[in-house]
């Protein structure tokens, strides 16, 4: 599972040498505190186990003195995990290794029993999330996150 901690990103040309995309992975554990469920985060866990809930956080930083517009940050769903949830507002998803992207829920057309059928692609087949960030002001950042479950 060490590969989970090594993640890559592809970004638009707008993220030049004065800007960057940083990642971290949090393990999310829910505990009861004063009778209420509370999330506890462990940043970049050394080991993960099947069933663990992880949150992949991508932070696009603009270190320049000019705003960045129409920034795209593409993040692969880590191998050995299943897409769980996330704020997909302003994002698109891929289920084919990052070749094509569309808004969730993804759909596919298949032939079953001689008939053409359109069906929803389940989130466990998602392979990439692409965040579409309309604006990152100068000297600022934008953070996006999604969750996965370890298989």
Question: Is position 120 within any domain?
Answer: no
Model pLDDT, residue 12: 39
- Determine, yes or no, domain membership for 58: yes
Report pLDDT digits (tens) over 70-117. 999 999 999 999 998 777 778 999 999 999 999 999 999 999 899 999
Helix (H) or strand (E) holding 58: strand 53-62
Which residues, in sequence order, are bridge partners of residue 143? 59
Average pLDDT over residues 27-45: 94
Asked if residue 97 belongs to a domain, the reply is no
13 belongs to a structural domain: yes
> Does some domain include residue 98?
no
Structural Rg of the chain based on CA atoms: 17
* Closest CA relative to residue 102, chosen from 79, 118, 81, 82: 118
24 in a structural domain = yes
Give tens-digit pLDDT for 106-151.
999 999 899 999 999 999 999 999 999 999 999 999 999 999 999 9
| Helices and strands counted in the chain (H then E) | 0, 11
Say what the pLDDT of residue 52 is. 96
The angle at the Cα of 99, spanning 98 to 100, to the nearest 5 degrees, equals 95
More confident residue, 20 or 1: 20
Q: Is residue 36 part of a domain?
A: yes
Half-sphere CA count of 1, side-chain side, radius 13 A: 16
Domain containing 9: what range? Answer: 2-91+130-150
Instruction: State how many domains the chain has.
Output: 1
Q: Decide: helix, strand or coil at residue 37.
A: strand
Element (DSSP H or E) covering residue 146: strand 140-150
Asked if the structure places residue 142 within a domain, the reply is: yes
């Amino acid at each position: 599972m060490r590969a989970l901690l090594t993640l890559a990103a592809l970004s638009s040309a707008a993220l030049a040498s004065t800007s960057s995309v940083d990642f971290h992975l949090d393990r999310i554990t829910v505990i009861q505190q004063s009778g209420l469920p509370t999330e506890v985060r462990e940043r970049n866990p050394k080991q993960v186990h099947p069933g663990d809930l992880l949150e992949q956080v991508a932070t696009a930083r603009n270190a320049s003195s000019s705003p960045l517009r129409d920034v795209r940050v593409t993040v692969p769903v880590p191998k050995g995990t299943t897409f769980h949830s996330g704020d997909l507002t302003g994002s698109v998803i891929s289920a084919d290794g990052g070749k094509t992207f569309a808004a969730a829920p993804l759909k596919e057309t298949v032939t079953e029993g001689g008939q053409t059928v359109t069906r929803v692609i389940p989130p466990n087949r998602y392979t990439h999330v692409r965040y579409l960030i309309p604006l990152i002001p100068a000297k600022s950042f934008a953070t996006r996150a999604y969750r996965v479950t370890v298989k």
